[in-house]
Structure formats: structure tokens, C-alpha cells
Structure 1
Amino acid sequence: MSHRDEYRQWPFLTDEEFTLACAFFDRRYIRAELGPSRKMLKINCHQTATTGGSYIEVLRLLTPPTDDDELALALSRLGGIVDHGAVTSVDIDIDMSNEENDQEVLRPDPKQEVPPGYSLYAHQPYVTYEIHLHPTYRLPTLWFTLNDLPMGDPAFDLDSVYRYLVLDEYKSQLRSIGVTGGISAAPHPLNDLPAFFIHPCQTKEAMEDLDCTLDEYLMVWLGLVGGCVGLWVPPEMAKSKAAI
């Protein structure tokens, strides 16, 4: 049985369809019997204040402490960092048509002063992933930033990304083109700060031969694009009921 009739134009998503997909994904995380997996990452569904549009945020510690109590404290404070610094009242348009300027984005302007960040849990490296609907491609796009890396490891640097997130089997693929278009850089869709993303230019080809319900859409999509930068959905989420 085909589920494509649920969508206005498979595999593309309208704003309403993406909002529902985010809600289903969040519900799967809440209801899943994750056990130890819930200690490793946190998933939240957010809305922007200006448009009401939804997006998914995933927080993962890069080097989890071995002690359970220390791990719980790290994740608790990690959530505090993101909530404290989250920008939900700003919504900007991103021009991704000029991809040849990606390398320019990777070189920070030395004249631009960036205020120092404040961390409630210093020296605990973590990665923030976000899933936003691309305004042009009408497909989910995976954004990510590295945070609180050890001194000497710049967070906004491709070498750091490959060192901390990309497994060896994906490196040559991502450095060329790959199934999902490789790693690009651009202003973050909410706060306009430099960030990395998996370009969605070839996501259509990866998704169009598949078939899934709307409540499974982000699970299937992440299975295609997430692993190359270290994001795997716990299998328990696939077993949980996502009905809202």
C-alpha cells in the first residue's frame, strides 16, 4: 500500500506537513523505551516565535562521562546551555544559491567581534543538530554545530567536523559529492551565525523511491543523512507509537 497520497507532492513537504513530521518525531522520542540510550542524547521540538514554524533539535555529548551521575549532570546542564542561548524570535531567509562561496563562509572575518559564549558545563564537548525545512528545496535539512571543544580545536572548522563526527567510511564520500550532497556551510537559519549543514540537493533522489507514512518520514530521512555526521536515531524510536 502506497502512503504517498498523504503528501501534496512526495517527497517534498509543505510547512504543515513538516510541522506534523516534527511532532511525530518528537512524540516517538518521548514514548520510546530508550533505557540507556536516553542518557546519550536529548531531542526537542521547537517553534520559531515569528512564524510558528517547527524544527527539531538533537543534543549529543561527544565524549560522555563514564559515571552515570556525572553523565546525567552533563546532559541536564547541556539542556540549560541550549535553552539559555536559543534564538526563537529571529527568522531569516537563507540564500543557498551561491554555493561556491562556501569556503569563504568557512573563513571568519577577523574584523567581526563575536561575544564570548557562556557555558554552564565547560569542557564538555557536544554537538547540536537541528532539522529545518529548506525554504527552496522543500526538504528537511540537517544543520549542526560543534560546541565546547578542547582548546586548540576550532568549532567552526571542517577538520574538526571530520575528526569528531565523520566516520572513516564516510570521509571520502563527503569530501566529494555523496548521496546527500556533502557538507556545506552557511548562516544558521535562525541566528545567522556560521553553521554546517548537509546540503539537500540530492535528497530528492534518495527519498523518491521510498515510501513511508508522515509519522515515519523523519525517521527514514535521518537514516539516509544522519549517520555520515554521527547522528543515529535509537532503534527503539522506530518501535514506539507516534500517533498524536
Structure 2
Amino acid sequence: MSHHDEYRQWPFLTQEEFELACAFFDQKYIRAKLGPKRRMLKIRPRRAATTGASFIEILRLIQLPEDEDDLSRALEKLGGDVSTSECEMEIDSRSEDADEEALRPNSIVPPGPGLPPQYALYSHQPYVTYEIHLHQTYNVPTLWFTLHDLPMGEPSFDLDSVYRYLVPDEFKSRLRAAGITGGISAAPHPITDVPSFFIHPCQTKEAMENFDCPIADYLMVWLGLVGGCVGLWVPREMAIDDAGNQ
């Protein structure tokens, strides 16, 4: 039985279908038994306050600090609000306190007697923010990404930095050959209007047409096709349902 009947026009998504796909993706992250992996990968549903458009934000440390204290501070940063889009708010009102594995921010240092509170100093650990937005022209998801806290002298908005920190060796030649029509492109961010990188969605239709997946798995399948080229892999545990099946 084909799952294409779940969509108005497979493999394209309407705004409503995209929001439903985002909700399923968030649900998979919350329910997955990720263990320590959850500390390195933070997935959050978002909604832009200005437009009401929903999207998914994914935060990932680029490399593991060797020092345990540095690691702890870096993980605290991922638990806080480090989004590139300051005008966002949470899609729903669920509290992460219900998720025992979720990382919680802890940016305030308890003050001593008679002293005002002090804010903890985070160690500068490189991290990447990925965002999944629905492209208003192509009507398919689009993966945006920005680098943060790179070593001094290395610009974050720089294609060479992207290839150095995010693109695995096996993808580099193919991405460079694809050029602006199919590889890594740059444009104003769909919410902040700040220059950002994204994976051009022009080839998404042809790639997704080979699959037959329910809307609950749409973003999982799509990320499996586009995420790896910029260092984003969805944990296998998110593909396992409550019954333990894939």
C-alpha cells in the first residue's frame, strides 16, 4: 500500500504537511533511547514569531573537548538558547523537565553571601546550528546551517570553513562539482535575513521520488539523503518505533 495518499502532491509538502512532519520528527527525538548521544545533539521545534512559520532547529558540537570541564560547559551552551534566530519561540508548551535525558541549561552561578548572581563563562567550543525550513518555491524541506565559535581568525561565514569542519572527505569533490545549482549555496536566512549557508533543494524532488514513506518518516528519510554531506546524521535510535521495529 502506497503512502503517497497522505500527501496532497508527493513528494512536495504543503505548509500543514510540513508542520505535521516536524511534529512527528520532534516526537521521535523525545521518545528515542539516545543515552549519551542526546548530550551531543539537541533537536528543538521552533516557530518564528514574525511569520508564524514552524521549523526544526538542531544543535551539534563539532568536536569533543578533551577536558571534562570544557565538555560540561560546552554541553550547557547547547542546552541554552543559542539559536541564530532571536525572534523564535517554542512551537508547543511541553517542558523538557519531563525528558530525563534532555540537557538543561545552567548558566547562572549561585552567588556568595551578599553578592549578586554571576554568569558562568562558557569555553569556546565550535558548534553548528542546523535548521530545517520549508522552501516556499520548491515546497520541500531545506537544510540551513551556520557555524559558531570557531578558533580565532577562522571566519564562520566562509565556504572553506564549512568544508573543513562539516563536509566529510567522501562528499567534498561531489559537492564542489555540483556548484551553486545542487551543492552548498548561500543566501539571506529565511527568518533573520543574515547571510547563511543551505543545501540547495533543486534535486530534492528527484531524490525523494524513489521512496514511499508515511508523513511520520518524511524528515527522517529526507535528512538521510541531504544531512550527511554537511555532517548531520540522525541517530539510528530515532528510526526505531515504540515496539522496537525499524
Match for residue 133 of structure 1? 134
1:162-181 matches, cutoff 5 A: 162-177=163-178, 181=182
Aligned sequence identity (%): 71
Match for residue 197 of structure 1? 198
User: Would the aligned equivalents of 2:182 and 2:200 in 1 still touch at CA under 8 Å?
Assistant: yes
User: Would the aligned equivalents of 1:149 and 1:155 in 2 still touch at CA under 8 Å?
Assistant: yes
Deviations 1:100-132 (A, max 9, x none): xxxxxxxxxxxxxxxxxxx96242110000000
Match for residue 112 of structure 2? none
Match for residue 18 of structure 2? 18
Equivalent position amino acid for 1:77 in 2: K
Equivalent position amino acid for 1:185 in 2: A
Distance 1:16 1:84 in 2: 24
TM-score of the two chains, using structure 2 as the length reference: 0.81
Distance 2:3 2:176 in 1: 34
User: Would the aligned equivalents of 1:78 and 1:120 in 2 still touch at CA under 8 Å?
Assistant: no
**Deviation at 1:240?**
3.4
Distance 1:165 1:70 in 2: 21
Name the structure, 1 or 2, with higher relative contact order (CA <8 Å, separation 6+).
1
Equivalent position amino acid for 1:6 in 2: E
TM-score of the two chains, using structure 1 as the length reference: 0.81
Deviations 1:150-173 (A, max 9, x none): 011110000000000001110011
User: Would the aligned equivalents of 1:80 and 1:120 in 2 still touch at CA under 8 Å?
Assistant: no
**Secondary structure of the residue that 2:187 maps to in structure 1?**
strand
**Deviation at 1:181?**
1.3
**Aligned-pair RMSD on alpha carbons?**
2.2
5+ residue gaps, structure 1, are 90-118
Match for residue 45 of structure 1? 45
Equivalent position amino acid for 1:161 in 2: V
Single out whichever of 126-135 and 180-189 deviates more from structure 2.
180-189
**Deviation at 1:86?**
2.5
Equivalent position amino acid for 1:141 in 2: T
Distance 2:87 2:123 in 1: 21
1:1-244 matches, cutoff 5 A: 1-66=1-66, 70-82=70-82, 86-88=86-88, 121-177=122-178, 181-241=182-242
**Deviation at 1:53?**
1.8
Distance 1:58 1:134 in 2: 18
5+ residue gaps, structure 2, are 90-119
Give the 3 Å change call, closer, same or farther, for CA 46–231 of structure 1 in structure 2.
same
Distance 1:6 1:21 in 2: 11
**Secondary structure of the residue that 1:18 maps to in structure 2?**
helix
Distance 2:121 2:188 in 1: 25
Equivalent position amino acid for 1:226 in 2: G
Distance 2:52 2:30 in 1: 21
Distance 1:196 1:143 in 2: 6
User: Would the aligned equivalents of 2:143 and 2:198 in 1 still touch at CA under 8 Å?
Assistant: yes
**Deviation at 1:214?**
0.5
**Deviation at 1:68?**
5.6
